């Protein structure tokens, strides 16, 4: 299963956006950046996400196989052109019973003009439904 989540941000303090996130990923929760965060060109963005335990509520629902993050221009809630690849293969290691947090940083290119942008998170997941508690 292929899932997407988009975090909308604005570059420079222009406050033009009220976009909200459009969908959630299946096994990954994005903690940072947050919707409507404001950055400047050249600034470091902390990308932080939490992996759900492999066995959650006594049930193994599958797991994330990969996570890619891309930087796009944006108009309102519409993602536009892809401007950069943040990563094609973010770590997705999870633990059987604990939440695992992964962190990385990415620098917004210095040449980026003020405006509306989005980080696009693509999760590829296996979603077999294994019930481990019978």
Ligand X SMILES: *[C@@H]1O[C@H](CO)[C@@H](O)[C@H](O)[C@H]1NC(C)=O
* Contact residue for ligand X among 14, 40, 96, 114 (CB under 6 A): 96
Tell me which DSSP letter residue 15 carries. -
* Contact residue for ligand X among 34, 82, 98, 103 (CB under 6 A): 98
CA 43 to chain centre: 18
* Contact residue for ligand X among 20, 42, 46, 65 (CB under 6 A): 65
How far apart are the C-alpha atoms of 19 and 22, rounded to whole Å? 9
Number of residues near ligand X (by CB under 6 A): 13
Task: Work out whether 62 is an interface residue with ligand X (CB under 6 A).
Answer: yes
Residue 39 C-beta: closest distance to ligand X, Å: 27
* Encoded tokens for 73: 């221009």
How far apart are the C-alpha atoms of 55 and 60, rounded to whole Å? 5
Residue 11 C-beta: closest distance to ligand X, Å: 28
Beta strands in 12-132 (DSSP E): 28-32, 37-39, 44-51, 59-60, 63-75, 78-87, 100-107, 115-126, 130-131
Residue 63 C-beta: closest distance to ligand X, Å: 6
Place of tokens 């470091």: 44
Task: Work out whether 2 is an interface residue with ligand X (CB under 6 A).
Answer: yes
Task: Work out whether 130 is an interface residue with ligand X (CB under 6 A).
Answer: yes
> Which residues of the chain form contacts with ligand X (CB under 6 A)?
2, 60, 62-63, 65-66, 95-96, 98, 124, 126, 128, 130
């Amino acid at each position: 299963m292929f899932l997407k989540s988009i975090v909308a941000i604005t570059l420079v303090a222009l406050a033009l956006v009220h976009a909200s996130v459009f969908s959630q990923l299946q096994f990954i929760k994005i903690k940072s950046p947050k919707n409507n965060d404001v950055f400047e060109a050249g600034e470091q963005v902390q990308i932080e996400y939490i992996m759900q335990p492999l066995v959650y509520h006594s049930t193994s629902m599958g797991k994330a196989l990969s996570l890619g993050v891309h930087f796009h221009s944006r108009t309102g809630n519409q993602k536009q052109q892809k401007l950069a690849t943040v990563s094609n293969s973010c770590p997705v290691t999870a633990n059987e019973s604990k939440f695992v947090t992964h962190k990385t940083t990415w620098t917004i290119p210095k040449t980026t003009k003020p405006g509306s942008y989005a980080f696009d998170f693509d999760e590829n997941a296996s979603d077999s439904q294994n019930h481990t508690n019978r």
